[in-house]
Structure 1
Amino acid sequence: MTSPRTTIAALLAAVCLLSGCGTQRQALPLSPDDTVRAAQLVLTDRCLHRQGLTPPRPDRSPPPAAERRRVVRALFGAGRTELRVRLPNGYVVRRHTDGCLAAAQQRLYGDQPRWFKVSTTVDNLKSKAPRGDRAAYAELRSLAVRNARAVLSSTFAKGTTP
């Protein structure tokens, strides 16, 4: 399993290569998962920047505790959790709909509540997930890959950084 630091570092390197940060502009083929992750990173970074916050990075020293709390609330949402899925084992998974991550998922998957439900079910139950949830997962994932490519293309076509 890849660590979050390694994943973020790889995505940042891919974004940098795609945006021409290196000496030579070249296209880096990303897997569908990395394409969605990179676009999600671009979207969440933009959202945090709009709120005057600095996105966290493993190569930066952590901000003061109060700033960290503001970033966490902005990224993951705050207040009452709006989404909830109860798994067959009784475990309940909850998610906010008001954070930058939720907004990025809405943009990529087109329906963040539906994506949360089917992805939570499929990720936890794997092949035992209901067929309808597995089909919805594949459909929404395919949409997310297309939307992620559009986000990345428009970001780098404009010559902007994420």
Structure 2
Amino acid sequence: MAFASLLLAGCTAPAERIELGPEETVKAAQQLLTDRCLTRQGLTPPRPGAATPTPAEARRIADALFGTGRAELALTLPSGHVVRQHTDGCLAAAQQRLYGDQRRWFRASTTVGNLRSATPEAERAVYQRLKARALDESRSLLAHVTSTASRKSTHP
């Protein structure tokens, strides 16, 4: 099993290397991308234990993260339940970057996540292919961040 390595460098502690499994690697890359997106918009990414934002600030963060207006993506499940997602938020941008096709990822992940073993084989294959792409993209992104952080910590 392949693992990604993430270098965490603190101000007072030496750098620590943490091994991440495939799911954690993609989650870490997605969080990095969404955090960068929120920061570019002048927003503070939410963190457990951080100060609670005002209701207005929390709304701005949620809108920036998940998108606004009418959800552009929708999939009706056999149960009749409709799952929707935006294409204009930081999360959508991160999914586009990692999976290469946010619309296709939405459909495949929603289908596999909700139908489980009843998912058509063709859709399951798309899901696996997009997951593999996201893992490759995530490893590349995190390796770049790790090498940049390592260079900065050794060259003050």
- TM above 0.5: yes
- 2:135 corresponds to 1:145: yes
- Provide the rounded CA distance (Å) in 2 between the counterparts of 1:117 and 1:62: 34
Q: Which amino acid aligns with 2:47?
A: R
Question: RMSD of the alignment, in Å?
Answer: 1.8
Among 20, 24, 34, the alignment partner of 2:9 is 20
- 2:106 corresponds to 1:111: no
- Provide the rounded CA distance (Å) in 1 between the counterparts of 2:76 and 2:87: 17
- Provide the rounded CA distance (Å) in 1 between the counterparts of 2:74 and 2:83: 6
Q: Secondary structure at the match of 2:139?
A: helix
Among 55, 63, 82, the alignment partner of 2:53 is 63
Assess if the C-alpha contact under 8 Å between 2:33 and 2:94 holds in 1.
yes
Q: Deviations over 1:8-45 (max 9, x none)?
A: xxxxxxx9x62322733343210100000000000000
Among 66, 69, 75, the alignment partner of 1:79 is 69
Q: Which amino acid aligns with 1:137?
A: Y
Deviation at 1:154, TM superposition (A): 1.1
The answer for the alignment partner of 1:100 in structure 2 is 90
- Provide the rounded CA distance (Å) in 2 between the counterparts of 1:159 and 1:101: 24
The answer for the alignment partner of 2:33 in structure 1 is 43
Matched residue pairs, number?
146
Q: Which amino acid aligns with 2:59?
A: R
Question: Whose strand fraction is larger, Structure 1's or Structure 2's?
Answer: 2
Q: Deviations over 1:88-136 (max 9, x none)?
A: 1111000000000000000000000000000000000111101111000
- Provide the rounded CA distance (Å) in 1 between the counterparts of 2:14 and 2:128: 36
Q: Secondary structure at the match of 1:37?
A: helix
The answer for the alignment partner of 2:144 in structure 1 is 154
Q: Give runs of ≥4 in structure 1 deviating > 3 Å.
A: none
Assess if the C-alpha contact under 8 Å between 2:112 and 2:127 holds in 1.
yes
The answer for the alignment partner of 1:3 in structure 2 is none
Q: What is the percentage of aligned positions where both structures have the same residue?
A: 53
Higher CA-based Rg? 2
